[in-house]
Structure 1
């Protein structure tokens, strides 16, 4: 007889009924080959005494096992492992190592028993909101998020309307209220000319970029980005099978002369450019704004050479001059621009609301693809954000956050200029939530980030921003998520770390 008392462990504090725990564990013993086809199990009274369980619990567990097909009852004889269960050779409890010494054996849960391709370019650190001091990638301060207003909007979702409509399946394109209100907001603030049917609501801008690349790109297509670029966009372009070519980024954004030369070259070899990816408002990671004449020329080149402009406008709501420059999409007369944005940085990263703006034919196709990935978004969150746009609460939050981040930008830039000007070069950004900082070439960025972490300050070493074969020695220093006092402490730590020479 198997040592059932050792092999079966019952947790009476668990919410799972005891008879189901027992039935499941008997099934596991059968699947592992420790109980074999046709093997007789102990009687209910005997097993109950072994496990200190009520006999009726054992009977219920056996009944469940029979219902699942693992066990069978033989009249007048007892309960057996079903004869039709295939025989499994049990794994040995110990294996003999190469040196002849017995080693403990455990089935690995790390590697599968089948082959699959691991894509190296998808290896990218996951950025999270760190506790303590931080100069992050440019995250919002979640302490400013309009939580009370969101709570009221959530409660109204439960109180109003038809529950069947609220809690059933919704539109794959997103909640209608949010699309209506967001369309109005984008038209008023960005000069777009949209209807709700021109919008697809996504779980953050990264989902919008993924869907767009999958729909518009094919294996072997050519896509142009800046030499420095957001890794999330580059990876999605590569995952769609496209070839990525780059052009320089200077103090005025993407070099349009270089882009035109590349367009001519690719046309001559019969591999025309299919798409150009840009952040014209604030280029990532350098934060520079694409100059007005270059914006016009980019749209002209798009019409001339027939490529899609994929415009990522990740932080449009936070611009510190009198009026931000309107998106490329606002001047698009020929339907060449796909505009991707997000409310994530405007509210809080946990609220995954992004959007794609494009001609309705493209939106319809994006929605069809989205349906096989994610049937729909979060109806409650989308309704709540739609309500905040409708009531004006979200716009008031934008204004409040803008004032706060503006003050923090000014304070942080003054601190860096005063305390670290001999080590860090930067231009005060016109908007956004981070400063692009170039460090003295003598600074080891990896070592600096490690030492800062030891001192309680989290920041990126910037290596991910280096183009192939280049060492920029720069990184993004986010200021928006920290108070002015926290920024002062962060700069003090950074100053201390940078004065240490390796």
Structure 2
């Protein structure tokens, strides 16, 4: 390990005490930015917590909390009796290549990758059975939806003459006020640096995946995914004419070394990642692989489709900032939405990309769905600006964490002889691998006789036909009594198979 770095933290770190983001997270964000930009290289020793707290005029506990968070995310490491260092596993970045100030906005009007354009589209801008208990593959509990808040705001909007224009045709790119609210919300919570012209409002994240696929994958262009992947995304890529190449997924996410190997062999148009919680296995893409993937995108000029479907539900530490938060070159298309936060029926999502990509996606969206639900979009706008979304997210995060803990405890205590799993750091499901001597088909058939529904399409998780015998088992949509009941029924099923 090297000697203490002479980097001037005192003059380079600016903490905003009026921001809703905690000071320790602001400190984390800026140190991560210095690492990503190459200004803090691997193995560099960081100042002690006492020294840094004095330099920044903050409490020492704030620095300690920041260091603990950076350690949890894999950016730094603490060595007993030696100090705290930038992780030695991170790649070395040439700081001379960085031309953007960390506080400046991204102004990517031109993408760094190729995509199909459609000039002829250019226009002037003017249930389950009530008696059956269901273990799904990881969806939110719609019963927790803030229905009263939604109804109150919806009624208020529809009663005011000021909002009558919402019943007319609107901007195909989405409600202007919602895009403005999203700029503030996403820049604050995801570390993005965007403006409203880089946002397209969609009917859920799936529309964003579809539009992106149509732009990138015609004529058998190649997209890389994990060897286990979100099947609906795979279907969308194939339908668009793309060819899927798969790479391994392990405890650190997709293997970017395998991505690099494929890039050297053939032209790659895109890489699809669910970076925060890989679908279906729930693992988080590691810090070093995030940096490697961004570097590969710059070198080989491909698009990264980052599907951040459940960013808000991370239980062990603060959510890791998405790849899009460091997209200085215009390679990332970031897709998210409010379906997982609020309820599946609220089909409000967003697609964020360089402006020329957004312009083209908006033209394509026009022939699919002229515009979204303008009144619902205005309702979400009010919920964001009032803080209703943020309060609801905090509330359900606590509930889902409790449900995860109970679900995993019971799986471990009652079913460890039949299956294996790791406790997920976030998300709404557990990746469960059944022991090889058992068959999910038989388990599912037997469970149905006990009125326990388990997804019969479990083989869709085996995208590469490797026979891993894994399945996603959702816990978020079940309350604690239902979780106990479901595990008890599953135990009866497994005992009957002996």
Instruction: Supply the distance in 2 between the matched residues of 1:129 and 1:166 (Cα, whole angstroms).
Output: 34
Instruction: Supply the distance in 2 between the matched residues of 1:456 and 1:438 (Cα, whole angstroms).
Output: 22
Q: How many residues align?
A: 370
What is aligned with 1:137?
137
Instruction: Supply the distance in 1 between the matched residues of 2:373 and 2:481 (Cα, whole angstroms).
Output: 36
Matches within 5 A, 1:119-134: 131=130, 132-134=132-134
1:197/1:248 CA distance change after superposition, 3 Å: same
What is aligned with 1:199?
199
The alignment status of 1:469 with 2:477, answered yes or no, reads no
* SS of 1:218 mapped into structure 2: coil
Contact 2:430 2:472 in 1 (8 A): yes
Contact 2:157 2:163 in 1 (8 A): no
Contact 2:228 2:464 in 1 (8 A): no
Matches within 5 A, 1:303-382: 303-382=298-377
More deviation, 375-384/153-162: 153-162
1:248/1:334 CA distance change after superposition, 3 Å: same
1:209/1:361 CA distance change after superposition, 3 Å: same
* SS of 1:432 mapped into structure 2: coil
Structure 1 stretches of 5 or more lacking a match?
1-127, 267-271
Task: Please state how far the C-alpha of 1:161 moved relative to its aligned partner.
Answer: 4.0
**After superposition, what is the alpha-carbon deviation per residue over 1:191-233, rounded to whole angstroms, capped at 9, x for unaligned?**
0111121111111111110011112222121111011111111
What is aligned with 2:19?
none
**After superposition, what is the alpha-carbon deviation per residue over 1:104-135, rounded to whole angstroms, capped at 9, x for unaligned?**
xxxxxxxxxxxxxxxxxxxxxxxx65644221
Task: Please state how far the C-alpha of 1:322 moved relative to its aligned partner.
Answer: 2.5
The alignment status of 1:273 with 2:271, answered yes or no, reads no
The alignment status of 1:247 with 2:243, answered yes or no, reads no
* SS of 2:463 mapped into structure 1: coil
Task: Please state how far the C-alpha of 1:469 moved relative to its aligned partner.
Answer: 3.2
What TM-score does the superposition give when structure 2 sets the normalisation length? 0.73
Matches within 5 A, 1:82-93: none
What is aligned with 1:497?
493
Instruction: Supply the distance in 1 between the matched residues of 2:445 and 2:381 (Cα, whole angstroms).
Output: 42
Matches within 5 A, 1:74-89: none
* SS of 2:309 mapped into structure 1: coil
Contact 2:158 2:164 in 1 (8 A): no
Instruction: Supply the distance in 2 between the matched residues of 1:283 and 1:352 (Cα, whole angstroms).
Output: 22
1:225/1:130 CA distance change after superposition, 3 Å: farther
Instruction: Supply the distance in 1 between the matched residues of 2:281 and 2:180 (Cα, whole angstroms).
Output: 34
Contact 2:146 2:342 in 1 (8 A): yes
The correspondence for 1:488, drawn from 479, 484, 488, is 484
What is aligned with 1:282?
277
Contact 1:130 1:458 in 2 (8 A): no
* SS of 1:441 mapped into structure 2: coil
The alignment status of 1:294 with 2:285, answered yes or no, reads no
Q: How large is the Cα RMSD of the aligned pairs? A: 1.3
**After superposition, what is the alpha-carbon deviation per residue over 1:429-484, rounded to whole angstroms, capped at 9, x for unaligned?**
01000000001111111111121122111112421111333211111110000111
Structure 2 stretches of 5 or more lacking a match?
1-126
Task: Please state how far the C-alpha of 1:297 moved relative to its aligned partner.
Answer: 0.2
The alignment status of 1:180 with 2:180, answered yes or no, reads yes
Instruction: Supply the distance in 1 between the matched residues of 2:324 and 2:161 (Cα, whole angstroms).
Output: 35
Task: Please state how far the C-alpha of 1:151 moved relative to its aligned partner.
Answer: 0.4
Instruction: Supply the distance in 2 between the matched residues of 1:482 and 1:322 (Cα, whole angstroms).
Output: 23
The correspondence for 2:435, drawn from 418, 440, 446, is 440
The alignment status of 1:391 with 2:409, answered yes or no, reads no
What is aligned with 1:427?
422
Contact 2:403 2:476 in 1 (8 A): yes
What is aligned with 1:260?
260
* SS of 1:169 mapped into structure 2: coil
Instruction: Supply the distance in 2 between the matched residues of 1:161 and 1:360 (Cα, whole angstroms).
Output: 33
Instruction: Supply the distance in 1 between the matched residues of 2:356 and 2:314 (Cα, whole angstroms).
Output: 32
The alignment status of 1:218 with 2:213, answered yes or no, reads no
* SS of 2:409 mapped into structure 1: helix
Instruction: Supply the distance in 2 between the matched residues of 1:149 and 1:430 (Cα, whole angstroms).
Output: 30
* SS of 2:155 mapped into structure 1: helix
**After superposition, what is the alpha-carbon deviation per residue over 1:138-166, rounded to whole angstroms, capped at 9, x for unaligned?**
01011110000000110111122435412
The higher radius of gyration belongs to 1
What TM-score does the superposition give when structure 1 sets the normalisation length? 0.72
Contact 2:202 2:348 in 1 (8 A): yes
**After superposition, what is the alpha-carbon deviation per residue over 1:335-364, rounded to whole angstroms, capped at 9, x for unaligned?**
100000121111111111111011111111
Contact 1:408 1:483 in 2 (8 A): yes
Matches within 5 A, 1:8-157: 131=130, 132-157=132-157
Instruction: Supply the distance in 1 between the matched residues of 2:259 and 2:351 (Cα, whole angstroms).
Output: 25
Instruction: Supply the distance in 2 between the matched residues of 1:471 and 1:388 (Cα, whole angstroms).
Output: 45
1:469/1:392 CA distance change after superposition, 3 Å: closer
Instruction: Supply the distance in 2 between the matched residues of 1:301 and 1:344 (Cα, whole angstroms).
Output: 31
The correspondence for 1:454, drawn from 429, 449, 458, is 449
* SS of 1:284 mapped into structure 2: coil
Instruction: Supply the distance in 2 between the matched residues of 1:306 and 1:256 (Cα, whole angstroms).
Output: 15
